[in-house]
Each structure stands twice: as structure tokens, then as C-alpha cells.
Chains A and B, each alone.
Chain A
Amino acid sequence: MGTSVQVSPLCGVYNENPLAYLVSIDGFNFLLDCGWNDLFDPSLLEPLSRVASTVDAVLLSHPDTLHLGALPYAMKQLGLSAPVYATEPVHRLGLLTMYDQYLSRKQVSDFDLFTLDDIDSAFQNVIRLTYSQNYHLSGKGEGIVIAPHVAGHMLGGSIWKITKDGEEVVYAVDYNHRKERHLNGTVLQSFVRPAVLITDAYNALYTNQTQSHHRDTEFLDTISKHLEVGGNVLLPVDTAGRVLELLLILEQHWSQRAFSFPIYFLTYVSSSTIDYVKSFLEWMSDSISKSFETSRDNAFLLRHVTLLINKADLDNAPPGPKVVLASMASLEAGFARDIFVEWANDPRNLVLFTETGQFGTLARMLQSAPSPKFVKVTMSKRVPLAGEELIAYEEEQNRLKREEALRASLVKEEETKVSHGPDDNSSEPMVIDTKTTHDVVGSHGPAYKDILIDGFVPPSSSVAPMFPFYDNTADWDEYGEVINPDDYVIKDEDMDRGAMHAGGDVDGRLDEATASLMLDTRPSKVISNELIVTVSCSLVKMDYEGRSDGRSIKSTIAHVSPLKLVLVHATAEATEHLKQHCLNSICPHVYAPKIEETIDVTSDLCAYKVQLSEKLMSNVIFKKLGDSEVAWVDSEVGKTESEKRCLQPMASAAAPHKPVLVGDLKMQDFKQFLASKGVQVEFAGGGALRCGEYVTLRKVGPTGQKGGASGPQQILIEGPLCEDYYKIRDYLYSQFYLL
């Protein structure tokens, strides 16, 4: 029997909500993506919270909020503890995206869903894979192999192939078949006939993708038009995903035109983003790595873009027209929101959206047609406490501190009681002693602290009050006290001291200003006020989402032609549209489950394994067809020494089988072939091929769809009895193998 496969969406079906799907393969639960959106509404994650603890592995596909935003929260609050698998860029850029999200939120609200530490710990245990790396799971997932493959869309973006016993489950969302400046196109087309394909229908209804060349010209024209009249251009972008493509376009254009207008890239993590991206060349398009190999030009050494990490730097920048790329793309938070509010009322300015805003966000509202004239915006900012508030706050803090100290001392007493109970193993103090000689700032034993801080504390277990006494019971031999050599070993770190002070912040690399912001513990509060913003600036939207459009989605799916297809992440309309299309022309098993609806996509494919005996194989003559070889076998089942099923030659003559013609006849190719043999040949009406004077050849029956998912071909050759007929029949036979 085949491998059992169940799919149940947790979020992001029949709408554009973030992505999270649970796929169970023979009982091993994969969480495919763990997304959230810019509104950070915990109710979205309810389905996830119910299953989080049963998840065995998390696979992430893209480094943006929609694909991994809920990871820190789920790890902290929902009991998700499975290992996470992602490519190196998804891990790194995903981490930076989450930092940026947190810092932008913290600036304007009392954001408490997760903290920077939660982000760090969530990303700490990500297992990083490279493209096409077959990673064999162990333990519960024994026998399952996972591998990320190029998805396009974002740097490091992956489609995941999960294989068990030769059966493939492919998870491909937000892929892009088109090659871009910094990314290669997806390799999804190279997967043929997987058992299950889980894919999105996001763009199924969107087919209006202009040629990238025209789009770029329009994009740059729009920007320069506004700059030339003295306006500013704001591009609300994501933190580390699609923005990279935009940066390259601008950078390239600026160096060609020698523009002097400044470009600013403003996020809380912009400089570290670009630093990391510079070292991710292996993950980018062939042309970028080629240009580096031959001329050592790193495409992300940006000469025209200034990286900024706080708004003050932008405000201090010389006045005059400028281009600013700032996060978040949704305008719900981040620098982009502030800048939008500042610039919206000047008609010379331009706000250029490069992607469809998330549902229910300010960006989406502004993108609606006709664009709104006024928008109501709640602006918040964090201000330090002052005056009475500050005093009140400090008092409160002091009170808390006192309580804390009181509690701590009580706990300590308890500990002391326990650690000096009657059956105390008294070699312990000795260990502490040796440690302290090496580790000056290290922790002293809890009991010592008691003495230093609280002075004399009578252990309640003692009969009479006394100072704590530790009996030195170290072992002695004829050479003196027995020492533990480990205590005196000079650690490796000591040699590497030059480097070690770098190791403090292993996971996240934060810019200095950001770090100070992070460490800023000055008491502060958030104040909000509502503004009515007059939108008089130009609003333009262009498609730089980097996803395949509807037509390509259809042809890609047709080419992959999975045995079973699961559709997710799209509006109800788009899902239904693609479902109908696929049912009609690609495969009979198309599913579009609802949230928390579990569908069983276990393949009804029967299969068993047999060994092919040498004796049988020596009689088989293969014929080569494309990249595979075919032959007919008649055999008998036997057993090998190791009791495995084995195919042996037939003892008696096999019953003759119905001959099979194998091959794929393309009328166009066959026409050329005939022409090369000197046969007069032309297409007559209705797809028929006229060969010579009398003979016609046509394909009949249901003509196959694109992609070869069709049944057997039916070819009809007809003509009067003549020499030509037999000649052409021979040519036709030569296109096939007869088995």
C-alpha cells in the first residue's frame, strides 16, 4: 500500500490569510509554513494552537511574515517545539524580518506577543539546508527525506519535496517561474508526476502580467517623473524579501543614468540585511554568480543606495527629491507609515506600491480604486515618561523590586535548608571552590551569596544557631590532594580570545543604533492620536510580487501533472476557478480543503518491490527512448535466498501479449522527418497530415492536453492500396518502439 498522506490547513485557505498547513505522512506531522500577517491577530492562530504540540517538523518556504511570522509566538505560547528546517537565507532574512517587525511594533505600541529573545530562541534551532540537499530524517521520521528546491519569489525561497518510499509530496507556494535579476526561476517544472502537489491558487485569476522589460521601464519612468518635479517617492517594501529585487533595479538604473537623487533604504535592520545578502551569492541567479566569478563584482555592493536604520537620519538628510524604500509594505507599522503620513498631502509626491497589500491594512485601502481622498490613521509613538508619571513609575518599580527581593530571599532560605540537609553530599563545596578560582565573575554557590548579602541566617534544620560550615573532604593520596585535571586545562577559547568577544550575539546581528534602542530601558509610554490624512500624492501600484501569474500556474501544474492536487491560499473565487480548470484538464483528484478539514490524499496507487534476477536481465534488451529505456518482460515470481520476491525468467513459454507501440508522435516533427525523406507533405484541414498524393495521417480521439497527461495516442493512417502507403507506414513505425 502507498504511504498515507493527510492534509489539514490551519490557516490560509479560501482567503489571503497567512499560510500554515499540517501534512501528516505516515503519522509524522509536518507543519508547512508558520505564517502570520501584519495585524498580528492571535485568533488567526487558533487552529494552530490546537495541534502545535503534535508537530514533528516545521518547513519554512519564504523569509517573510506571511510564511514564518508566527514562529516565535507559536514556539513561546502555543507549545510548538519541533525542529525547524529552512534554507540559510530564509533563516537569516526571516530572523531580520521578525526583528524589524518587533522593533517597528515596539516603537508604537505595547507589543507583548513575543520579544526579541523569543525570536532568537525560535530561530536558534533552525536546521539549515541547501537547495537539492536530501536530508534524511531520523527517529520518528525514519525513511522520510526532505529537500528544498529553488522557488524563485524570494532569496532562499523553497519549494519542499518530501519523499517516503519513492512517493513524493511537493509543497510549492508562491513560486516564480520567471528568472529575475537576483533570483533564478523555480525548478518546479522538473518534478514530474508527484503523488501529491500542494500549491496555492493565489494568482489563478490574475493573468495580466506585463513583460518584465516594459514593467521596469514604466516603473523607472514613474519614479523619475516625480523626482524631476521635485517630489519624493516612497516605496513601502518588506524587510528582506522582494525589496532586494527593487534595490537592484534602482541601483542598475541609477548607475546607467548617473542620477544624483539619493536612494534610501530604511528599515531597522537595513545594513545587516545587505551585509548578509552580500554573502548569499550562491543562492542568487546564475548571472549574479557568474559576474562575481569573472569580475568579482558583488551585485549587492550598492553604490547609490544609502542604508538607514532610523528615521532621524532620513530627517537629517539634505532636502530635495529622494527615493525611500521603507518597511512595512502594509503601512500598518514601521517607518513607511510615518513617512506616508508626512508625505501624503503633497501632490508632487508618489507612493509606489510594489505588491498587493495584505487584506484589511492601510496599504490595501489605498490601493482600492478609486483611491481614497482621506484616510483616518491612528498614529502612535513612544515617549519617555516625565514628571509625575515618571515618579509614579519609579515608585511602582521600587515596590516591585522590594517584593521580588523578599520573595527571592525566601526562596534562598528554602534552598539553603534543602542543600544543607542531614544527608548532604559534602564534596560539593569543594567543587565550587575550584570553580571560583578560575571563574572570577562566575556564580558563587548559593550559600555563599546568602552570607554575603543577608549575613547570618540560621539554618532551620540546625539545633542551635551556627555559621554554615563546609567540611573539606577532598580525597588525598600519597602525592597530596587529588586534583581534577580538567580544572587546569587551558580552554581553546583562551587562544582565540581575539575573536571571542564577538560571539556575544550569535544569532542576530543588530545595528548599533538598533541595539541601543533595544537596550533602552528608560521608562516610556505609548501615546496615540487619530489623524485624518489627506491623500493628495499619487498612488501607483505595480506588480513586483514575483509570483507566477494565472496562465503560468496552469501550465506549470499541467506539466507537473500530480496524481493528486491540493489547492490552498487564495480567495474562494480563485480557488474554485483553478479547481475547475484542473478537474477538467489535468487530474481527476483536486482538493481544496477548508480550515481544519482533514483530507486524505493517500495515493490509491498499488506498488510492490521485486528484485530482478541476473538471469532475467541478461535476456532483456532495452530500447532507448528519451532519457529512459524500455523493454517488455515476461517473468515468474520466485524467492531469493534472503526470502525477497524476485523475478525470474518464465519456465514455460509466455503467452503472447498484445503488442504495444511506445513513443510520442508529434505531427510537426513527423512532418519534418517525412520531408527529409523526400515525401511531399503538408497539413490539411483538421490537423490531418497529407503525405504524398493519397495518404493521410491524423490523430483521432481525445487529443492530449499539454504536458502529456493524456491517455494513449490514437493515430489513423488511411489511403488507397499503393506503394506510398506502405512506405509511409514504415516511416510511421520507425517513430515507435514495438514491444
Chain B
Amino acid sequence: MATSLKRREQQPMSREGDQLIVTPLGAGNEVGRSCVYMSFRGKTILFDCGINPAYSGMAALPYFDEIDPSTIDVLLITHFHLDHAASLPYFLEKTTFKGRVFMTHATKAIYKLLLTDYVKVSKVSVEDMLFDEHDINKSMDKIEVIDFHQTVEVNGIKFWCYTAGHVLGAAMFMVDIAGVRILYTGDYSREEDRHLRAAELPQFSPDICIIESTSGVQLHQSRHIREKRFTDVIHSTVAQGGRVLIPAFALGRAQELLLILDEYWANHPDLHNIPIYYASPLAKKCMAVYQTYILSMNDRIRNQFANSNPFVFKHISALNSIDDFRDVGPSVVMASPGGLQSGFSRQLFDIWCSDKRNACIIPGYMVEGTLAKTIINEPKEVTLMNGLTAPLNMQVHYISFSAHADYAQTSTFLKELMPPNIILVHGEANEMMRLKQKLFTEFPDGNTRIMNPKNCESVEMYFNSEKMAKTIGRLAEKTPDVGDSVSGILVKKGFAYQIMAPDDLHVFSQLSTATVTQRITIPFSGAFGVITHRLGKIFESVESSTDEETGLPALKVHERVTVKQESEKHISLQWSSDPISDMVSDSIVALVLNISREVPKIVAEEEVAVKSEEENGKKVEKVIYALLVSLFGDVKLGENGKLVISVDGNVAHLDKESGDVEGEHEGLKERVRVAFHRIQSAVKPIPLSAE
């Protein structure tokens, strides 16, 4: 609570700047259905698009109804796990989303296999199906790939990704919007393992770090100890004639475990007669992906690859179904699903659980409510799939290979990066709270805000984004001093600004300028001299000349419009388009037409033009007053001939002669001043030269 109060106090002070909003639509104070919404300066990004594997149908989705999918510019997927990618086909095909989606090469290749498998195995009614295989295939066309470190720019949003460890192809995304950087870690691990690189430390420190907190304040045992425990349990169990069941999700960590087993078997010839199986057609299919994207793995694998592909196992064979499995004597079987909810792993568990020689190794993080989570606490009895209960005699070991950063990794990672804002996601509520408390003690100086928003709870931050512009070309020939004026075209592309002279526009941007020359011919059969005379009465400047080619007379009116006699019956007007010239030409056209039609009216106009100065002045004042009323509403005549303008209780005094404005409210003063300038320039005659 203390933090949220503090935040409220800070807000009014830090109000200057643009608002950045981060809202978890899933994975806020929970594990599963990762989906974090972020918006800053009109750009919107969604990180991850997962489901909660413990639920089915709509209930498994993140809270997509909180947002308008059509406004999202970019969707970034960190890795292929269901809780990070599985609502993607739904989001792409069943919502109004029309932005772009990015993931790494390996993620995309596995994503398809994994979700196709997910659709096949999830036994839900047709109405509850979020998407089908067809939707997945269609989504493949929309997904774009990004390579690690490759910078991509979409609508001014720049982003690139770093290796995240965790699983093959897992990425951490760094997003840069107008200089404000946001790092989204997804699931990451800072420990190098058998095949993956450790998560990289980004080169730049982000302003906001959205970080996973799955492991909370736990500390992992070192990898070697875990591996030793793992192999020891297996070795002793099979040596005593028992069977080992490893329920594991088919992809990701399973490959790491297979690498460990294959290597252990290679080093222990006495075990060669004991078979190892991985019972997952999906894992078998994905082997090709693992055998290909060697470049995403660590140097160890790359070096091994120089001799032979380490993902071509020598002691491990694949099983397609339980029918192919002959349960004679000791064996090691890795089977999915990891939670023992149903399927092959559960079938084996039911057969093996009552024999105390057997062992079951839970190799990773288990979601609440699954049987795997239950048996970690070693209950006396378990309920089998057929509804009967059976004694749980087999040994149960929990050895985590889950490749989530533990507390030590998280805190060192954050200390290296020193982000001023930390947002915790993807963690069970209590664990997250503990992590938050402990991190507070690590960053005691108070410059770091740590937040753990719930789902749909927005975190607001304000960033003073300095807008820098580059003045280039002719406009920059002289570097100006304070007080000099700079006028030119401001070009904004993405979040980059450039100021340049109009003539340079085509040089420095893909835009170009144009001049439109207009020439119209008007029927006129009178004497040209009449026109000259009449124009001279209205316009300040009328220059006479003769056309060089035809020798006919020509006039240049107001230094803008050329009037030429074309023939006995026509005159022509030529000018270069801009609002003032258009207006001048219109009045010339009106004048010329009127000469040939109604002579008397011109005389009348002439009378009007000879009105006294005084009357003119009054008229101008009236117009100014009327326009100000139409703009500001409450305008009264005050002392010394000043106008008193009041808006919403704020008052400004306007001196009509000098244009000076006095008042308390800055904004109003500014507006009145600008308005008055514009009115004045509209009422006054057109200045002769625009330059």
C-alpha cells in the first residue's frame, strides 16, 4: 500500500511529459497466459499472447476485451510455450487486430507444430475451441520473423531482441519509442545449460523493465548438482530394477534432459542395456528444428556440431504411443504432458505408481491444480484415471530444470541494468510479493519503482521526452544565436524531426514541393488602358510593360499577377498559386468582368473607397470586436479603451493599439495575443511583398 500512496503523491509533480501505460492482460500476479499491453505516445505494443493451460475455452484467454485490438501496432512473442504464444491464432484470426507480429525463426517453426498438437490433444467441445488447425496455418502467413539483435522499425517503434535462455528461440524484447526504452524479458534464464546460451545482458539500460518472477525469492541449486541428483536417482532406480517416469512438456526443457541422459548413458556402458524412450511424436517432429537452429544455441553445442549433431541421440529412442511400449524390466521414459493431467504420462503413472521400486521425477515448475503438483507433497493415495484410488508407493523427486531466473539471477540482472522502473509479471501472487519486498531492500535509494500490477490494472508513468530536431541544409548554413528566428518546414518521420528550407525538401526527404502556375483567359474587348486605369485605383502597385514576343501591353499587379492582352477579344491572367495571389486574381477577374458589363457599379465602388479615414477606423474596430466575441464569448470594453476578455474566470486585458495583453493566466494571454494578431492581419490591406 505504501508504494501506491507514494505513487499518487508523485504524480502531479511528474506530470510533465508523456504518459506511458503498462497493463498486464494476463500474467499479472499469476503464472500463465502472458500478455502485457503497453502504450506510449500513440504507439501500442502487445507483448506475448498466451493462454492459461489450466483452463479451457475463453476462460484461458488473457483479458483481450480490455483493449481495442485494432489499435495495436506490434505484437511481439518471446517464445513458443503455450502460456506465451497459444492465444495468437485466436488473436490474429478472431479479433480486429491488424498490426504486425514478430517472433524468432525457431519459435515460429515450433509454434506451428506445438499448437497443431495442442488443438489435437485438447479434448474440448467444438464451441469451446478457440481456434482450429486452419486458423494456425493462416496465422503462419501473418507472422514475421526477426533474428536476434536485428533492429526492426514499425511506425516509428524500434525494437530488437536478445537471447533469453529458457528454451530454443526464446527472446527478450527491447522496444524503443521516441528514446524511451522498455525491456520485456519474457521467461529468461541467466544460466548457460547444455544447449542454450544464458540470457544476454542488454547493452543499454532500459527505462522500464518488465520482468518475470516465476521463481520468486527461491535460489536454484547449481546446475551440476541438479544434474547429478537427476542422474543418480535414475541410475539407482534402474539398477534396482525399477522404472523411471519423467513427465515433461514435450518441448523446451525436455531436449535438455535428453541431452543429459544421452551423455550419461554414453559415459556408463553398464547402462546400455536399459532403454530410454521419449514418448512424444511432437518432440520427434521438432527434432528437425533443433537440428537446424544450431546457431541459436551455445558454443558448446556448436562445437559438438562440428563432429556430429548432438540432437541425433545414440541411446534414446522415440515411442509413438503406449501400444508400442513393452513394459519389461527397467526403463526410463520421458512422456508428456508434464502435469500428469492425462495422456501417456498419466497412463504410465497409473501403472507404475504403486510399485516402490519405481521413481517419478518432476523436472520443472508445475501449475497449481495438476496431479504433478499434488504428488510433490507425497500424499498416501492418489486417484487414478479410472476413478479408483491407489497407494502412492513410487518415489517422487522434484528436481527443477525449469530455466527460469532465480532470485540471485534476477537481482544481479536488475542491478546491472539499474532500470528506474521495474514491473513484475508472470509469478504467483505471494511469491511476487515476497520478491518485491526483497528487491526493495536491494534498491534502497528510492530511485527505483517496483510494481506488480494485477491483471487489467494499469501502471502509469510519465516520461519527459525531449523532442530534438535537426536543422539541415540551407537553413543551417549559419548557426543561429539566441533570439534569432528559424522558420522552415518541420518534417516528422517516426520520432525524428528535421527542419529545412522548402527548397531543400526534395533533397532531404522523399517529399517534394510544387509550384502551380495558372493561366486563364477572359473575354474582354474594351481598351487595355481602361483596365490599367481601374486596377491602378484599387491596387497599390501596377507596373506596365510590353510583352517581348507579341509587343502587346502587359501589367504586373501587386507584384504577383500578370495581366496581358492576348488578342483583340481576350486578355490573359497568369500567376503562381498561393492564397493571396488567388485572391488578387479573383478581384482582377471580377473587375474586368464588371468593366464590360455594368459601368455604374464601379462608380459606386469608387465612392465606397473614398470613405473617410475615421469611418474606416470605426469599421475596423467593430470587426475586431465582433471576431473576438465570436472567439472568446465574454468581451467587454474596459478602462483606457482596453478590451476585457474573460474565459472560465480568467481575465485578460487587451490593448487594441499596441496589441499588448495583460492577465494572470498564461494560456489565455497567449491565445488572445495570437488571435488579435491574426485578426489584425486579416483586416489590414494585403502587404505588397510576401518576402
Tell me which of B16, B307, B514 contacts A665 (CB under 8 A). Answer: B514
B516 near A131 with CB under 8 A, answer no
Cα distance A713–B577 in the bound complex, in angstroms: 13
B490 near A632 with CB under 8 A, answer yes
Tell me which of A502, A505, A634, A660 contacts B513 (CB under 8 A). Answer: A660
Q: Which residues of A contact B580 (CB under 8 A)?
A: 659
B578 near A659 with CB under 8 A, answer yes
A721 near B468 with CB under 8 A, answer no
Which residues 78-111 in A have Cβ within 8 Å of B in the complex?
A: 88
B485 near A634 with CB under 8 A, answer yes
User: Which single residue of chain B is at the shortest CB-CB distance from A134?
Assistant: B151
Task: With both chains docked as a complex, state the minimum distance between the C-beta of A125 and any C-beta of chain B, in angstroms.
Answer: 15
A293 near B109 with CB under 8 A, answer yes
Cα distance A498–B269 in the bound complex, in angstroms: 13
Which residues 560-574 in A have Cβ within 8 Å of B in the complex?
A: 563
Q: Which residues of B contact A656 (CB under 8 A)?
A: 681, 687, 690
B487 near A131 with CB under 8 A, answer no
Q: Which residues of A contact B486 (CB under 8 A)?
A: 610, 633-637, 647
Q: Which residues of A contact B471 (CB under 8 A)?
A: 607-610
Tell me which of B288, B491, B511 contacts A296 (CB under 8 A). Answer: B288
Q: How extensive is the interface on chain B, given as a class?
A: 35 or more
B303 interface residue (CB < 8 Å to A): yes
Task: With both chains docked as a complex, state the minimum distance between the C-beta of A698 and any C-beta of chain B, in angstroms.
Answer: 10
Cα distance A190–B511 in the bound complex, in angstroms: 15
Q: Which residues of A contact B518 (CB under 8 A)?
A: 716-718, 729
B263 interface residue (CB < 8 Å to A): yes
Tell me which of B267, B307, B491, B513 contacts A661 (CB under 8 A). Answer: B513
Q: Which residues of B contact A630 (CB under 8 A)?
A: 489-492, 511
Q: Which residues of B contact A563 (CB under 8 A)?
A: 507
B482 interface residue (CB < 8 Å to A): yes
B307 near A502 with CB under 8 A, answer yes
A524 interface residue (CB < 8 Å to B): no
The 8 A CB mask of A699-733 against B (1 = contact, 0 = none) is 01000100011111111111111000100010011
The 8 A CB mask of B73-96 against A (1 = contact, 0 = none) is 000000000000000000000000
The 8 A CB mask of B632-674 against A (1 = contact, 0 = none) is 0000000000000000000000000000000000000000000
B487 near A289 with CB under 8 A, answer no
B468 near A664 with CB under 8 A, answer no
B506 near A132 with CB under 8 A, answer no
Task: With both chains docked as a complex, state the minimum distance between the C-beta of B598 and any C-beta of chain A, in angstroms.
Answer: 17
Task: With both chains docked as a complex, state the minimum distance between the C-beta of A47 and any C-beta of chain B, in angstroms.
Answer: 34
Tell me which of A133, A298, A653, A713 contacts B514 (CB under 8 A). Answer: A713
The stretch of A171-179, A217-225, A443-451, A617-625 in contact with B is: A617-625
Which residues 453-481 in B have Cβ within 8 Å of A in the complex?
A: 466-474, 476-477, 479-481
Cα distance A606–B690 in the bound complex, in angstroms: 27
A583 interface residue (CB < 8 Å to B): no
A713 near B487 with CB under 8 A, answer no
Q: Which residues of B contact A637 (CB under 8 A)?
A: 480-486
Tell me which of A280, A496, A626, A638 contacts B300 (CB under 8 A). Answer: A496
Cα distance A480–B468 in the bound complex, in angstroms: 68
Q: A637-B485, A658-B578 are in contact. Are A282 and B147 (CB under 8 A)?
A: yes
B484 near A715 with CB under 8 A, answer no
Cα distance A583–B267 in the bound complex, in angstroms: 70
B492 near A509 with CB under 8 A, answer no
The 8 A CB mask of B481-511 against A (1 = contact, 0 = none) is 1111111111111000101001101111111
Q: Which residues of B contact A665 (CB under 8 A)?
A: 514
A687 interface residue (CB < 8 Å to B): no
Q: Which residues of B contact A631 (CB under 8 A)?
A: 489-490, 492
Q: A132-B151, A279-B293, A739-B489 are in contact. Are A661 and B516 (CB under 8 A)?
A: yes
A608 near B479 with CB under 8 A, answer yes
Q: By DSSP majority rule, is chain A's interface helix, strand, loop, or mixed?
A: mixed
The stretch of B64-72, B519-527, B620-628 in contact with A is: B519-527
B493 near A611 with CB under 8 A, answer no
A136 near B203 with CB under 8 A, answer yes
B305 interface residue (CB < 8 Å to A): yes
Tell me which of B16, B294, B681 contacts A653 (CB under 8 A). Answer: B681
B469 near A647 with CB under 8 A, answer yes
A147 interface residue (CB < 8 Å to B): yes
A715 near B469 with CB under 8 A, answer no
Task: With both chains docked as a complex, state the minimum distance between the C-beta of B45 and any C-beta of chain A, in angstroms.
Answer: 19
B224 interface residue (CB < 8 Å to A): yes
A509 near B306 with CB under 8 A, answer yes
B556 interface residue (CB < 8 Å to A): no
Among B224, B472, B507, B512, the most chain A Cβ lie within 10 Å of the Cβ of B512
B476 near A608 with CB under 8 A, answer yes
Cα distance A658–B508 in the bound complex, in angstroms: 20
Q: Which residues of B contact A732 (CB under 8 A)?
A: 516
A556 interface residue (CB < 8 Å to B): no
The 8 A CB mask of A343-381 against B (1 = contact, 0 = none) is 000000000000000000000000000000000000000
Q: Which residues of B contact A709 (CB under 8 A)?
A: 506
Q: A298-B288, A499-B304 are in contact. Are A622 and B492 (CB under 8 A)?
A: yes
Cα distance A657–B503 in the bound complex, in angstroms: 13
Task: With both chains docked as a complex, state the minimum distance between the C-beta of A273 and any C-beta of chain B, in angstroms.
Answer: 13
Q: Which residues of B contact A262 (CB under 8 A)?
A: none
B295 interface residue (CB < 8 Å to A): yes
A636 near B484 with CB under 8 A, answer yes
Cα distance A664–B506 in the bound complex, in angstroms: 10
Q: Which residues of A contact B305 (CB under 8 A)?
A: 275, 279
A498 near B493 with CB under 8 A, answer no
B481 near A714 with CB under 8 A, answer no
Q: A281-B292, A631-B489 are in contact. Are A612 and B468 (CB under 8 A)?
A: yes
Cα distance A630–B306 in the bound complex, in angstroms: 55
Task: With both chains docked as a complex, state the minimum distance between the C-beta of A594 and any C-beta of chain B, in angstroms.
Answer: 29
Q: Which residues of B contact A412 (CB under 8 A)?
A: none
User: Which single residue of chain A is at the shortest CB-CB distance from B262?
Assistant: A498
A628 near B292 with CB under 8 A, answer no
B514 near A714 with CB under 8 A, answer yes
Cα distance A522–B520 in the bound complex, in angstroms: 96
Q: Which residues of A contact B691 (CB under 8 A)?
A: 658
B140 near A653 with CB under 8 A, answer no
Cα distance A35–B429 in the bound complex, in angstroms: 60
A468 interface residue (CB < 8 Å to B): no
A633 near B487 with CB under 8 A, answer yes
User: Which single residue of chain B is at the shortest CB-CB distance from A709?
Assistant: B506
B513 near A635 with CB under 8 A, answer no
B285 interface residue (CB < 8 Å to A): yes
Among A131, A620, A630, A736, the most chain B Cβ lie within 10 Å of the Cβ of A630
B513 near A659 with CB under 8 A, answer no
The 8 A CB mask of A489-512 against B (1 = contact, 0 = none) is 000100111110011011001000
A280 near B482 with CB under 8 A, answer no
A662 near B485 with CB under 8 A, answer no
Q: A280-B295, A661-B513, A708-B506 are in contact. Are A609 and B147 (CB under 8 A)?
A: no
B227 interface residue (CB < 8 Å to A): yes
Cα distance A637–B509 in the bound complex, in angstroms: 24
A713 near B513 with CB under 8 A, answer yes
B149 near A279 with CB under 8 A, answer no
Cα distance A582–B507 in the bound complex, in angstroms: 16
**A-B pairs with lowest CB-CB distance, top 10:** A133-B149, A718-B519, A509-B306, A659-B578, A606-B476, A498-B263, A612-B467, A628-B493, A713-B514, A660-B502
Beyond the given pairs A282-B105, A293-B105, A733-B516, 15 more chain A to chain B contacts, judged by CB atoms under 8 angstroms and listed by A's residue number, are A88-B295, A192-B510, A281-B293, A292-B292, A506-B306, A563-B507, A610-B471, A611-B467, A628-B509, A633-B499, A647-B486, A708-B510, A712-B513, A713-B513, A720-B521
10 A-B pairs (CB sep. < 8 Å): A166-B470, A610-B486, A630-B489, A650-B485, A653-B681, A658-B690, A664-B511, A704-B512, A712-B514, A719-B520
Q: Which residues of A contact B (CB under 8 A)?
A: 88, 129-134, 136, 147, 166, 192-193, 275, 278-282, 289, 292-294, 296, 298, 492, 495-499, 502-503, 505-506, 509, 563, 605-612, 614, 617, 620, 622, 625-639, 645, 647, 650, 653-654, 656-665, 700, 704, 708-721, 725, 729, 732-733, 736, 738-739
